[in-house]
Amino acid sequence: MSTEPVPASKGLVLPGDLLGTAEEFVPGLGAYEDGGRVYAALLGHPHIDPQARAISVRALHAVPRLAEGDLVYARVDEIKSAMAILTIVSSAGSNRGVPGAPEGTVHISKARDGYTESLATEFGVGDLVLAKVLQAHPTIKLTTAPPALGVVAARCQSCHALLALGPRGALGCPRCGATESRKIAQGYGELAPGAPGAPAHEHEPPSA
Ligand SMILES: [Zn+2]
């Protein structure tokens, strides 16, 4: 807890940081008054409303929270027999990062429509996937079954290059020539620039 008032125009404040006096400000959301002084109640950015003479603190980790039906980009971390484990890197609608990079799972029955023998032919470790949130709490469950959803950028499992989509829907590695199978999204390779993890922003190591 600091004893000097925090310049409200910038920076982060911690819970208990002094924002000003009760003569200067009314405590808004995320702030409270104690003994004639106004303090931050949250970790966040202070914000002054001059008309209301209110000072509030916008929580650093308040948004966005995932909800059922949200579309997200997620990176495949691990493939097990019955599920794939992914890290959710951003909300696909806004391209905003998801706080805490939470873990999500795709059950083998939700990878694609119809029967799936093995998740190893649907996803690869390191792939970027566009998925829909089926359940947001207490654990995050995802689906990639609809045609628009699935892998949007696949990594070669031999050399980690990005796989290119061939004319007949086959994925081939431009570096080592391997061919692989995935549950690809309709928009494979068309990831919006600026999306976290967008391949366009990655620097491939020079090929040997
Ligand atoms: Zn390769």
- The answer to whether position 137 is within a domain reads yes
Give residue 202's pLDDT. 41
Record the pTM: 0.64
Q: How far is the CA of 201 from the centre of ligand 1 (A)?
A: 19
Q: How far is the CA of 159 from the centre of ligand 1 (A)?
A: 4
Q: How far is the CA of 184 from the centre of ligand 1 (A)?
A: 17
Distance CA 89, CA 169 (A): 26
Say whether both 57 and 106 belong to one domain.
no
Point out the domain boundary residue: 116, 136, 151. 151
Average pLDDT over residues 112-127: 94
Say whether both 16 and 35 belong to one domain.
yes
- The answer to whether position 15 is within a domain reads yes
Say whether both 108 and 77 belong to one domain.
yes
Structural domain for 95, as ranges: 71-151
For residue 21, give both structure tokens.
């006096």
| Dihedral over alpha carbons 112, 116, 118, 120 (to 10 degrees) | -20
Give residue 26's pLDDT. 93
Say whether both 51 and 75 belong to one domain.
no
Average pLDDT over residues 122-135: 95
Distance CA 179, CA 173 (A): 6
User: How would residue 44 be classed by pLDDT, with cut points 50, 70 and 90?
Assistant: confident
End-to-end CA distance of the chain: 55
Q: How far is the CA of 174 from the centre of ligand 1 (A)?
A: 7
Tally Cβ neighbours within 10 Å of residue 3: 7
For residue 53, give both structure tokens.
């003479």
Point out the domain boundary residue: 62, 95, 112. 62
Most confident region among 30-39, 143-152, 167-176, 198-207 by mean pLDDT: 143-152
Q: How far is the CA of 164 from the centre of ligand 1 (A)?
A: 10
Beta strands (DSSP E) in the chain are 18-21, 26-27, 31-34, 37-40, 44-49, 54-59, 71-79, 83-91, 103-107, 128-135, 140-143, 150-153, 164-165, 171-172, 179-180
Say whether both 7 and 31 belong to one domain.
yes
Distance CA 108, CA 119 (A): 6
- The answer to whether position 118 is within a domain reads yes
Q: How far is the CA of 77 from the centre of ligand 1 (A)?
A: 18
Q: How far is the CA of 87 from the centre of ligand 1 (A)?
A: 23
Average pLDDT over residues 17-21: 92
Point out the domain boundary residue: 62, 86, 108. 62
Q: How far is the CA of 79 from the centre of ligand 1 (A)?
A: 19
Give residue 203's pLDDT. 43
Give residue 168's pLDDT. 80
- Which residue type occupies 84? A
- The answer to whether position 145 is within a domain reads yes
Per-residue pLDDT tens for 55-108? Answer: 998 876 544 578 899 999 999 999 999 999 999 988 887 666 676 778 999 999
- The answer to whether position 80 is within a domain reads yes
Per-residue pLDDT tens for 181-207? Answer: 999 999 898 765 555 454 443 444 444
Per-residue pLDDT tens for 158-173? Answer: 999 999 998 887 899 9
CATH of the domain at 10: 2.40.50.100
Q: How far is the CA of 206 from the centre of ligand 1 (A)?
A: 13
- The answer to whether position 49 is within a domain reads yes
Say whether both 46 and 100 belong to one domain.
no
Q: How many domains does the chain fold into? A: 2
CB within 5 A of ion ligand 1: which residues? 156, 158-159, 161, 173, 175-176, 178
